[in-house]
Chain A
Amino acid sequence: MAGVSEYIVVGSILFALGLVGFFSRRNLIVMFLSTEVMFQGIVVNVVAFSGLHQNMDGQMFALFLLVIAAVEAGLALGMIVLLYRRRGTLDAEAWSAMHG
């Protein structure tokens, strides 16, 4: 049976991959998908802790992470649609200059 440190390693790899994606990709949608990957890493970790401590705290945390992810997706997609209407592109770099 896999111990908690294995789950931590896997979860943190997912988190780090999401972080790399968030830093390096320029497509707004892929950037937000990367943050969702980071959420997945956290879910793996907190549920592993929940199993370790034999209580529900970790799972509750993961459940509320789901809520946050849904909230984030709703707002982020609304904003992406708005930004796409303004510039006609999903490139994050199109918004690097503060004019206009």
Chain B
Amino acid sequence: MTEFLTSQFGVSIILAGVVFGILQGAVAYCIYFERKIAAWIQDRCGPNRVGPAGLLQPLADGGKMILKEDVIPGHVDKNLFVLAPAIMFIVAFVGFAAIPWGGQLELGGKLVSIQVASPDIGLLYILGVASMGIYGVVLGGWSSNNKYSLFGAIRATAQMLSYEIPMGLCILVIVLTVGAIRLEDIVLPQTAYWSDVIPKWNVFLHPLAFIVLFVTMLAEANRTPFDLAEAEQELVGGFHTEYSALKFGMFFLAEYASMITSSALLAVLFLGGWHLPWIPWAQPEATGIAAVIVKMLVMGGKIAGSLFVMMWLRWTLPRFRFDQLMRLAWGGLIPFTLGLFVLTVGLLYFDKHQSPLWTLGGNAVVLVLTLAVAGLSRRDVTGRPASLPSLEGRSLTHGRLAGDVS
């Protein structure tokens, strides 16, 4: 038994249970913190009735979700209607399996990874799992047999397919820089230092790719300013209009779970994963149990920071219009990340891909070029496409309808 528990397989199984449990709680508390942050930004109190400072609010919310009547409307396609939230929920949590949470642990003279699974294709695994999440939205929207839900689903499909491209290109930039797609192998080179001071985190090599990846992850998780799929004001909640009780709760939890996965991936790719400079416990050499706990806390802290920025953005920025969203992806982010990608390939050819001077200079060049192209092109970014006639003297709603069809 001890032998089993100290083997990689045993550790993986225990870790799967622990991580799943912690994340369930974390997701519930994400909702609490989202509300608290919203309240703070809007100068309110936020939830403060249940427990000290409202800390038991997630439990009350959960109880409410479970006890509410679970309505399945008569006009829906029942099988798919039930399947959709389940797919969302499962997909959102399965991605955690390949995240390296805390380096390696020494157990009985052997080193085991604090990672549920460390496949050679770890990064691709996460991408593959994330790409399945779209089915939850699509099926939820279609099976509801409601035109607002269908609009939400169609918007979500187009949006997720479009933003997957710049996301993949940003990730490719890092894959080329590091030369590995196993997530542990991506973290390890980042634990070294430049001139013994600055950690070799990839964010210092490719800050622009970091920002673009963050933006595309917001879009993939359907967060503001990209939450057109649920746009309450236009679509009454979009793909989950017809959902209630626990099924709605599953959509809700899945959104936060996928935010956590994205943040964890961001931390691993750009922020050195569990590594923190100058802290002896957060170095790859430290393999004790204390070191593992410190590393997991570091990872958690990085994830929390990224989550905070996501929530902050949600309560700061208004939502995009759909044509702006598409133009941002196809006209902005994709050419821009293609530029970054070509830059990285070029630097790789001259073997300069690890030197910050070259990559930062290249980033600056790409940024300046993009801004120059954007500034020189006369296209109005926010307005109506010039190919369509002007709306002067027309009823705005009708005009917008015609414009959207194009």
Complex: A in contact with B (CB within 8 Å): no
